[in-house]
Structure 1
């Protein structure tokens, strides 16, 4: 849980280029020169790869597109894609800054990801809308929901404090993904080093308290999820017991 509670930064899509692409071959001839032998591949009605550069160029495009397609992207503006490649190889000044380029890629994949995971997003939204009507449930300005199970009388932590807690985390379907109770080992952590829902929520507690938190995906692990146990865009439920603040 020490790893899963750490805030996850949104990376840009990694375009892996380790796949191999093979073209169908119907006829192969060998063209020789004094220093090398190059195989020329041709297929009726298709492009012929006349060199390793030709094959690799196609492989680059096909492999990158396959990776992006697996991430949910259906198409690109191919004219601008080719222009971007030509400008980079030709040393031309980019039409947009590096920062804007990174933001554009990030925003595109966020949009695609939300479309892909719409069922999980809608499930979380519907749950929170219904849950906030339950007796004892309170809602903060950020959308965090909580319910007081036991109210302690000790000190209240600040975001910069280190706290000792017991906790249990579950998905909306009831599946438990972590529990310090099961390990019989409370967790000590810096309150500003965890997901936003924890940072905000635990500051509402006094030592000796036990709260139940209902955390929207944007205050949890967002579009990335966390490992195999927490899918992307998951609304999470935590029971948290605040034992100590800064060892006290």
Structure 2
């Protein structure tokens, strides 16, 4: 965790387990928060790779809006090239396969002022994700 940020949520479980988040009694940080819960020993994720992850997403202090654990299938997408929200591009490039990473993503690195109403995400919501990096491949 970076020293200049306020406390980030904690997550239960280990790699591959659906987490439960516990939030601190502080407001969400205004900057991207990245905390490596457990570091893997696999390949380093590089910008432009296709990354395979399991993830759990929750609004800061609010409800879960999406996760791959309940579906029982991971997702894959290009990372570091603007295909996903900025907080994922910035927070996951440079991590190692096998890592569990917590991301606290402010609105400007998430869905912006419009939010994502169909998922119940408002334009001022900070998003918290726990991401298990399952694999990476060069494109």
Query: What is the TM-score with the length of structure 1 in the denominator?
Result: 0.42
Partner of 1:239: 130
Larger strand fraction of residues: 2
Larger helix fraction of residues: 1
Instruction: Give the Cα separation in 2 of the matches to 1:173 and 1:157.
Output: 29
CA contact (8 A) 1:221 1:233 kept: no
Partner of 2:7: 131
Partner of 1:221: 111
1:159: how far off? 1.9
Partner of 1:103: none
Residues paired across the two proteins, number: 112
CA contact (8 A) 1:169 1:176 kept: yes
1:129: how far off? 5.5
Superposition RMSD in Å: 2.2
Query: What is the TM-score with the length of structure 2 in the denominator?
Result: 0.73
1:233: how far off? 2.0
> Residues 186-241 of structure 1, C-alpha deviation per residue, up to 9 Å, x if partnerless?
00111120000000111131000001111111111110101332111211100001
Instruction: Give the Cα separation in 1 of the matches to 2:5 and 2:135.
Output: 33
**Unaligned stretches of 5+ in structure 1?**
1-127, 135-141
Say yes or no: does 1:171 pair with 2:88.
no
Specify the SS of the correspondent of 2:113. coil
**Unaligned stretches of 5+ in structure 2?**
11-29
Higher normalized contact order (CA 8 Å, seq sep 6+, divided by chain length): 2
Partner of 2:44: 156
The structure 2 residue matched to 1:202, chosen from 85, 92, 107, is: 92
Instruction: Give the Cα separation in 1 of the matches to 2:47 and 2:86.
Output: 10
* Bigger radius of gyration among the two: 1
> Residues 163 and 230 (structure 1 numbering): CA distance in 2 closer, same or farther, change over 3 Å?
same
